[in-house]
Amino acid sequence: MKTHIRAVRLMGLSLLMLSIEALAEKKVVDSFEQMVTQGTASVNFRYRFEGVDQDGFDEDAEAALLRSRLTLSSAEYLGFSALLEMDDVTSIGPNDYNSTENGQTEYPVVADPEGTDLNQAWVRYRFSEGTGTVGRQRINHGNQRFVGGVAWRQNEQTYDSLRLDLAPVEGLRIDLSYVNKVHRIFGPDDGAQPAEWEGDTVLMRADYAINENHSVAAFGYRIDVEDQGGFPAGRTVNNSNDTLGVEYAGKMDWLGLKASYATQSDGGDSELDYDADYYFLEAAVNSAPVTVKAGYEVLEADNGKGFQTPLSTLHKFQGWADKFLVTPVDGIEDTYVSIGGKLGPVKMAAIYHDFQAESSSADFGTEFNFIATWPVNKMLTLQGKFASFETDDAARYTDTDRIWFTAQVKL
């Protein structure tokens, strides 16, 4: 009952704010009063049903959750602007799932704990060559393979950070961040996983557009996660690592290419000792209205530890069944093909993955993914999504089917 009351209150506050202030584009104003009164308010509701059928569990998971988001954004005055964003995740319907926090371990995991959380709260200063932002904020680098917000989950991952976003010359963008706290998808309260990671993390990425068809990027990440009482090192300090890498993206008429390489070693106060590489290659053939892609992604392993990306939007990669959120101790090779296009207004895509170990002869299994997204209008989007993983290594992995139905309303 408390969670339902919490959602109703947040919805009421959201609608009240919208009745007071009309939505408008952010603009530069002449006074502090106008900075506040000419700001914007918006609300976003995302209702999702997720079902999980996983071998090893007598019960299937069923989770029906509403995420209500209220965002208040100021206008810009003397280069300064601010944003405040609150999220609430509430069960509206079936509630038979392991959120990692609710203790219902008889069900498979759906990592969407209920609760109300401050998602973003920052102040930004804009100057001639970029912006500086301090506070809790969203940080997404590139395709989010190494640093992202995990926006797929109902509780987004955000960062308490001091961030500089610079554009010193044409075509070059430099993103520098110091992060002392990561607010993870498992929050707002601790459960089987820490809701927050504290530490001294530095995130650096530089993107350079060679021309309109080709770009390169370089990145360096020093992830430092502190020890946290009550949680094992594998869930805290052993996620510390140092990573350096490069990326390329280009297109030539109907052919698109992407490539990436990175090298990683243990960092901070990690108890581990390893050095591992990452590499990725993808080719896309665009023959309207269909796009076909083929890719190969490898996360190596060394000394019993696989290359890891603890701040990644992991759900985007290596299949939507989420079987490889932690890289296996013998690494992983993901070979995939996909086909996507539109049927009327509905965007659709199908993806097939084959998973193998990188440093052993293990065959992990295969996975099929399908998604259909219908943007009904500017406010309403409907989506159906499916993932089916079949294991070839039953000692380590289990057959898993996941299905999602999502309705999102933006006001």
DSSP secondary structure string, 366-390?
EEEEEEEEEE-SSSEEEEEEEEEEE
Residue type, 145: R
Classified as helix, coil or strand, 208 is strand
Structure tokens at 46: 């995302």
* Whole-number pLDDT of residue 1: 45
Structure tokens at 65: 């959750």
* Whole-number pLDDT of residue 26: 59
Length of the chain: 411
Residues 326/352, Cβ–Cβ less than 8 Å: no
* Whole-number pLDDT of residue 6: 52
- How many CB atoms within 10 Å of residue 162? 14
In angstroms, the Cα distances linking 158 to 147, 183, 189 are 10, 5, 15
Residues 305/272, Cβ–Cβ less than 8 Å: yes
pLDDT, tens digit, for every residue of 90-130? 999 999 999 999 999 999 999 999 999 999 999 999 999 99
Q: Are strands 290-299 and 275-287 parallel, antiparallel or unpaired?
A: antiparallel
What integer best gives the mean pLDDT of the chain? 94
User: Does the pLDDT of residue 170 top 60, yes or no?
Assistant: yes
- Alpha-carbon distance of 68 to 396, in angstroms, equals 37
Radius of gyration for the chain, computed over Cα atoms and rounded to the nearest angstrom: 22
- How many CB atoms within 10 Å of residue 210? 11
* Whole-number pLDDT of residue 27: 82
pLDDT, tens digit, for every residue of 296-354? 999 999 999 999 999 999 999 999 999 999 999 999 999 999 999 999 999 999 999 99
- How many CB atoms within 10 Å of residue 394? 11
Q: Are strands 275-287 and 301-302 parallel, antiparallel or unpaired?
A: unpaired
State the Cα angle at 148 between 144 and 150, rounded to 5°: 110
- Looking at the DSSP assignment, which residues form a beta bridge with residue 287? 290
Q: Are strands 346-356 and 363-375 parallel, antiparallel or unpaired?
A: antiparallel
pLDDT, tens digit, for every residue of 4-50? 445 444 444 444 444 334 333 458 999 999 999 999 999 999 999 99
pLDDT, tens digit, for every residue of 245-291? 999 999 999 999 999 999 999 999 999 999 999 999 999 999 889 99
pLDDT confidence bin for 402, thresholds 50/70/90: very high
